[in-house]
Structure 1
């Protein structure tokens, strides 16, 4: 193993300097998140990069490495983490000197996919008995490991983890380097919705509908209908989405952002009237729960209801798809609401920004010779990863489909044109405002709660609105006879 360790204190201070002085003057503590994951560098060999990444949770987020390890396949030693943790422990105890004050450093969460999570915590993998890192159930082997218990789960605690009260869950003689930090060794490692919800549950459902058993599989005609509908939605997706919808024939090549887009937005439209009713109702429980868990306000107000939805999703999934449906990713939905409530929303503990950074790190490797040296050299030179932090521009557009906004729970609009800027720099926008909003669906709840509404072009008026009214972006889908469906964009793009 080759390893490069960065100065943890210096790295955090260097990246804090990129934020505006007005932000730093008010800063008494800095909230950081960590990520550990493997990054295959080449297709021709098994060399992979294992960075420990740090994210400063200010707006916009700043991500940088604390250490980089180059290994063959998976690391057999966690020394590259231990040294980083030791430096981080010192920073957390003593804070950061910033002018005449000391800024406290605290860890919000450590985001890993399930295999990396088990590796860094020195516990059994999810595919083994007692593999769930949140509850103590043994699991049941059904061709693969499943977790059949849904109710009355015995949850793990920081104390039970550190005291190793369930020996079968831990690797004998091994201790996680992160246990040296003053963190909760259970709840500080939240369920990562990128891997377990998007690439896990949502992909699993789509595969069941397209390639599963006859009882739950769509016909070839239905699959084609869903694909056609997805293609038709391309023109309605704003440019802040990384990808436009693709047909189900490309399903094996969908990225995590595409599964997220389907789960939160497009799936509700394209499956309605095509997927059989009981399966659609089941999907809607998952989709609505995800919408609420993404929104900071909704997750705090409706966390108990979301947990009920996800419990129904897991229970009903066993009835619809069989006991083999309750694999680890599906089971982890039972722990999702608690994580989102603790941390604020799913985007606050997501791997999406870390994955984006890993993609940029890989681009720094130009050849197979000394890849670690190449990465460190280009990081030190500056390169694309050291650019100054700036907020993403949020200029109001009058060009479809980037001109759709939710005004409040009673009105939404599309921006048609812009008026000349006034002397004081303010600007007004001519908008078609839609009123008389109705729920897009009433199952499992009134969809206006999470910003999914239906209205009609007949219920409109023309108004001049200021930019301050146009903050909440949305997606508008056109239906027949002047009907319009609006979905509030709930997730973060950072």
Structure 2
């Protein structure tokens, strides 16, 4: 199945002239017993849409056998749209800014050696070393690959077959950034947990069952304080094999070099400002990782951390090049299949019913505010006379402020506040709150946490205050 990109673009050409398209390609098992799987191609317009759309969908008992046949229609249309297309007398252009894949899909789409091959790193030129049945990449300063060197196939051992994407304007090295959902959350963090608690780690760095129980208790105690924007709340460590990427994303704080560097690279504020510092931290992490756990664990995911900051320099912070929105959409596609027979047709019908092929205005990045849960039980500070409307919840873009425990801590006007009420007075929204009067650093290695806006607060003032809603309000945990 192939849905034409042109049909999707015509609904938004009124406001945009140059489109930056992000593609996602990955395999998706449908029914484990049957062996059937999808290979969808998803797209998302940067700076316009937060919801992916389905461009193409392959269904079979294995991944597509012919790469050229699989990508033929997409490549043909990308080449046509990149040279310009005319709608209502105006010319528009489409550029693919990035392609998001996990390691196996990236190797398949680019026509290169797999991540467990000797020339498997698609960011630098180094020959891997096979240790304890694992392919490792211990070198930290290997010569980097470039878009030009890839096009010229200078490293013959790296290439398996020509990729149809080479016929387009897609940058075959810089245009394929590492996805930190797979690389860090499901890769590095899961590996750390296995080393600390599994049977593959050495006894000198494995934690005891008592320590596991203690940490699990702390994680479970945090459940009521985790904001609603997190897809999942903490679970006990003995359930770690069932943890999803969003849960593993929260655990990396235990290892500070990794934690701080990923925090910096995931931050729109710090990702470029402190990019070189984050790169230094990640390289130190990889070096120390090999010394602590053994060179045999310096596999593709661990090595990939050394290239993460370069991807951020090209594409922006990590959440702009992550697989999270695409994984959420893949889950929806899988749910559209209700029986083993004719899975492709089922998805086509469901998508047609939901009209998900069109880009709606509500998917834009426009700021909006929604007030919910009208009530009348206060508190309302003195000074507000006349008609005052009270609400328990305020939605701003993609986060929620609520008077409930998990969603009531915010930062506004350089103050850390605990929300007590949300009121509307004379058409303006006010936050009724109490201020934390003591702010201290949360950690000091490898950097003072307050320099990153991470702090420990205490001493909540008993006095109510009201602040007009600021456009720079931030949600806190």
| 1:326 counterpart residue number | 298
Deviation at residue 406 of structure 1 after TM alignment: 1.7
Match for residue 186 of structure 2 among 190, 199, 212: 199
| 2:408 counterpart residue number | 403
| 1:286 counterpart residue number | 258
Where do 4+ consecutive residues of structure 1 move more than 3 Å? 97-100, 383-389, 458-462
Match for residue 341 of structure 2 among 369, 377, 382: 369
Task: Write the distance in 2 (CA, Å) between the matches of 1:321 and 1:427.
Answer: 53
| 2:77 counterpart residue number | 87
> Paired residues, what number?
440
**CA shift digits 1:317-363 (9 cap, x unpaired):** 01111101211000000000010121110011111111111100111
SS in 1 for 2:304: helix
- Is 1:262 equivalent to 2:238 in the alignment? no
Pair 445,108 (structure 1): closer, same or farther in 2 beyond 3 Å: same
Asked if 2 retains the 8 angstrom alpha-carbon contact of 1:360 and 1:385, the reply is: no
SS in 2 for 1:150: coil
Deviation at residue 58 of structure 1 after TM alignment: 2.9
Asked if 1 retains the 8 angstrom alpha-carbon contact of 2:26 and 2:40, the reply is: yes
Task: Write the distance in 2 (CA, Å) between the matches of 1:381 and 1:130.
Answer: 45
Task: Write the distance in 1 (CA, Å) between the matches of 2:359 and 2:231.
Answer: 21
Cα RMSD of the aligned pairs, angstroms, is: 1.9
Asked if 1 retains the 8 angstrom alpha-carbon contact of 2:37 and 2:59, the reply is: yes
**TM-score normalised over the length of structure 1:** 0.85
| 1:304 counterpart residue number | 276
Task: Write the distance in 2 (CA, Å) between the matches of 1:469 and 1:250.
Answer: 39
Structure 1's unaligned 5+ residue stretches are 18-23, 269-282, 476-494
- Is 1:350 equivalent to 2:322 in the alignment? yes
Pair 82,329 (structure 1): closer, same or farther in 2 beyond 3 Å: same
Task: Write the distance in 1 (CA, Å) between the matches of 2:207 and 2:195.
Answer: 9
- Is 1:180 equivalent to 2:204 in the alignment? no
Deviation at residue 430 of structure 1 after TM alignment: 1.3
Deviation at residue 437 of structure 1 after TM alignment: 2.0
Pair 167,460 (structure 1): closer, same or farther in 2 beyond 3 Å: farther
- Is 1:416 equivalent to 2:420 in the alignment? yes
**TM-score normalised over the length of structure 2:** 0.88
Deviation at residue 470 of structure 1 after TM alignment: 6.4
Q: Within 5 A, what are the aligned runs for 1:61-460?
A: 61-78=50-67, 79-95=69-85, 97-142=86-131, 143-151=133-141, 153-171=142-160, 174-211=161-198, 212-263=201-252, 267-268=253-254, 283-382=255-354, 388=360, 390=362, 393-394=395-396, 396-407=401-412, 410-419=414-423, 421-423=424-426, 425-457=427-459
Pair 81,140 (structure 1): closer, same or farther in 2 beyond 3 Å: same
Deviation at residue 60 of structure 1 after TM alignment: 4.3
**CA shift digits 1:52-100 (9 cap, x unpaired):** 11111235413112111112122211212122111111111114x3444
Asked if 1 retains the 8 angstrom alpha-carbon contact of 2:434 and 2:461, the reply is: no
Bigger shift: residues 40-49 or 392-401: 392-401
Pair 460,132 (structure 1): closer, same or farther in 2 beyond 3 Å: farther
Asked if 1 retains the 8 angstrom alpha-carbon contact of 2:2 and 2:56, the reply is: yes
